[in-house]
Amino acid sequence: SSSKLLIKGGTVVNAHHQEIADVYVEDGIIVSVQPNIMVGDDVTVLDATGKYIMPGGIDPHTHLAMEFMGTETIDDFFSGQAAALAGGTTMHIDFVIPVNGSLTAGYESYTQKAKKSCMDYGFHMAVTKWDEVVARDMEIMVKDKGINSFKFFLAYKGSLMINDELLLEAFKKCKSLGALAMVHAENGDAVAEGQKRMIELGITGPEGHPLSRPPVLEGEATARAIRLAGFINTPLYIVHVMSIDAMEEIAKAQKLGQKVIGEPVTSGLVLDDSKLWDPDFTTAAKYVMSPPIRKLGHGKALQAALSTGVLQLVGTDHCTFNSTQKAFGIDDFRKIPNGVNGIEERMHVVWDLMVESGQISVTDYVRITSAECARIFNIYPRKGAILAGSDADIIILNPNSSVEISAKSHHSRTDTNVYEGLKMKGKVEVTIAGGRVVWENDELKVIPGSGRYIKMSPFNYLFSGISKADAAYLSSLKAPVRRFRDQS
Ligand code: URP
Ligand code: ZN
Ligand code: ZN
Ligand code: ZN
């Protein structure tokens, strides 16, 4: 294929604007966006008449090649990204997990894992313990390694979880570095108690998973993280918002003027927990993720919160384990590796659920699947836009075609699919990554090693303004000078 590409006659959609135009690409960069671009015959021409030309999806939340719960995710940086490209996602941000608590060792390890990448990617970093070395390494990550966000786990007691004391230290560090704090919000101590209860009741199957960690534990941890971030006066990003309880805490804080970003994930928007009661273990276990997929009604409420802006962008938490790995928990739901697929399905599910249903506009679709993520992580408009000068990460979506999701046809290495059988209106017919057509006519043309690491710089603009806590402190400096009472 040529390094010169013209996409003709489609509706170009950005988060702010849409218009009928052509898009001309050279050497991986969008050169111009305007009607009726004329080119020579050395240029590959794609006809997009009647279709949408949009920025490729950016998935803010994935776990590729992650060691977790005694095993490693079945999708690595190549297979997970190939699946992403087949579904219209052209970039993702993966969570580096420290090695024995070391951030720098984690960074080196993930840099190696990501060498086989076939699309662009960035990193967040998980922080799972606290000491001087971790604090220093956070600074190295932000200043030298292109990481501007850190994830803290209030769940997974005994492995990834940190306590409030450490969370406060970490928030302070994020604030001073201009990095964004992200939180997995479930009360890990209460989850352990809930799990104990289930085992005592003899409930050992996958249904014990949602029963042991109800929405109230997500609501509590979300509220706590929000209040502590507000106390430190640093912005907060709540990952995988799965319940009304958590969403309402975010809405409340935003109303009070606090900078809180809420990320629902594909599974939480479209699925409900009924399948966890399926008598077939493999079927039920594939839905086990944390926080759990909730009862019917939570997903609808999260969709509504996306359409009103309480939640700003959609991730997947793509974290795949095959049936053999899920079977580690055949006798005890606590040992089922947590995680579901979604990197390939997100763009289609969100289109059908949100746009086709009339809940949001096409420009909003671009915002919640791509542009907002690029803005939050400071890579806009290089990513997340169809503008002259942007990277040529582009999809062509046909709103009149459709897809049926199945493990039989998906590109992930896992052998099940939590969206099995869903028929989604709208189809990503072409994916262009870095100026190359990588998905066309239901065929992938991916090259390991062609993906680039996208460095993300700190974003101090989020930290302007003064919090109520800081205002109270400043006014306390002007407190009256107190004298001892007159002794006479
Ligand atoms: O179940 C999940 N979500 N697995 C991935 C790890 C995490 O908490 O994001
Ligand atoms: Zn325009
Ligand atoms: Zn998490
Ligand atoms: Zn995750």
**What is the mean predicted confidence (pLDDT) over 259-283?**
98
pLDDT digits (tens, 9 = 90+) for 354-393: 999 999 999 999 999 999 999 999 999 999 999 999 999 9
**What is the mean predicted confidence (pLDDT) over 106-114?**
98
Instruction: Break the chain down into helix, strand, coil percent, rounded to 5.
Output: 35, 25, 40
Q: Which of 140, 131, 132 is nearest to 162 (CA)?
A: 131
**What is the mean predicted confidence (pLDDT) over 391-403?**
98
Question: Can you list the positions of beta strands (E) in 242-393?
Answer: 260-262
Please, what's the largest Cα pairwise distance for the chain? 102
Q: What is the pLDDT of residue 181?
A: 97
Q: Using 50, 70 and 90 to split pLDDT, how confident is the model at 471?
A: low
Q: What is the pLDDT of residue 396?
A: 99
Q: Using most ligand atoms within 8 A of CB, pick from 338, 340, 343, 414 the residue to mutate for ligand 1.
A: 338
Residues 6+ apart with CB under 8 A from 33: 12, 21, 22, 23, 24, 386, 387, 388
Q: What is the pLDDT of residue 488?
A: 55
pLDDT digits (tens, 9 = 90+) for 292-310: 999 999 999 999 999 999 9
**Using the 8-state DSSP alphabet, how is residue 389 labeled?**
T
Q: What is the pLDDT of residue 459?
A: 78
d(CA 302, CA 307): 9
From first CA to last CA, the distance across the chain in angstroms is 97
Q: What is the pLDDT of residue 484?
A: 72
pTM: 0.95
Q: What is the pLDDT of residue 263?
A: 98
The identity of residue 121, as a single letter, is Y
Burial class from Cβ neighbours inside 10 Å (0-12, 13-18, 19+) for residue 70 reads exposed
Rg of the chain, C-alpha, whole Å: 23
Q: Closest-lying ligand to the alpha carbon of 289?
A: 1
User: Lowest-confidence range among 16-25, 420-429, 458-467?
Assistant: 458-467
Q: Which atom of ligand 1 is nearest to the CA of 288?
A: 1
Q: What is the pLDDT of residue 1?
A: 45
Burial class from Cβ neighbours inside 10 Å (0-12, 13-18, 19+) for residue 215 reads buried
**What is the mean predicted confidence (pLDDT) over 429-445?**
98
ipTM here:
0.94
d(CA 282, CA 415): 10
pLDDT digits (tens, 9 = 90+) for 29-65: 999 999 999 999 999 999 999 999 999 999 999 999 9
d(CA 369, CA 381): 14
Structure tokens at 191: 């989850």
Q: DSSP labels for 191-252?
A: HHHHHHHHHHTT--STTHHHHHS-HHHHHHHHHHHHHHHHHHT--EEE-S--SHHHHHHHHH
The bridge status of strand 71-72 relative to strand 89-96 is unpaired
Q: Using most ligand atoms within 8 A of CB, pick from 61, 239, 289 the residue to mutate for ligand 1.
A: 289
Indicate whether 483 pLDDT > 80. no
d(CA 399, CA 344): 17
d(CA 424, CA 457): 36
Q: Distance, CA 19 to ligand 2 centroid (Å)? A: 6
Indicate whether 469 pLDDT > 70. no
Residue ranges around ligand 1 (CB below 6 Å):
63, 184, 240, 289-290, 317, 319, 338-339
The C-alpha angle with vertex 213 and arms to 204 and 258, in degrees rounded to 5, equals 165
